[in-house]
A and B are shown apart, each in its own frame.
Chain A
Amino acid sequence: DADVTQTPRNRITKTGKRIMLECSQTKGHDRMYWYRQDPGLGLRLIYYSFDVKDINKGEISDGYSVSRQAQAKFSLSLESAIPNQTALYFCATGRDYTDTQYFGPGTRLTVL
């Protein structure tokens, strides 16, 4: 079984809809991250969390919110989706800065 899972893997939604992307991990890591990837821009950090009570904004948090329900679960919400949020979204986990990040398989989101 994969260490980091994301659901759904693909989602098409309409402008204005609320959508939640979920991430679960079995690695026992405290640190979890949400990134988005757009062509030509690389991975950009949306939010990160170092434990259940520690949530921090990344470079591009506007239009997004997160919830850390447990050490193993970190959800990303788009309260009112807009077309420029169409992207590939990755969840990642890590032990600390000396450890690599472990990425989920990605969620491809299309907002029409």
Chain B
Amino acid sequence: AQSVTQLDSQVPVFEEAPVELRCNYSSSVSVYLFWYVQYPNQGLQLLLKYLSGSTLVKGINGFEAEFNKSQTSFHLRKPSVHISDTAEYFCAVNAGNMLTFGGGTRLMVKP
């Protein structure tokens, strides 16, 4: 079985500042890792994913994430956030037939 922990339930940040959303996972087998974004009252949209290869993954909207196997982490970063990045962000791990989600991190970008 696998589990995902998003260490921060809310992250407030000022516009144009950098941000890191943390994600740690546990699994006894190799995993695939995902970050999704959810805007209010909408479904989830894929930001990026790690399947294999380079540990630094670039996604949409200027986001990137780094897979660290030794620390079992997959933190999401953006060097300069915009007001429009305000949303809920979910980290997820896929091993076997199930996609397991973290509890989510609410990113609040302030002007």
Do the two shown chains form a genuine complex with each other? Answer: no
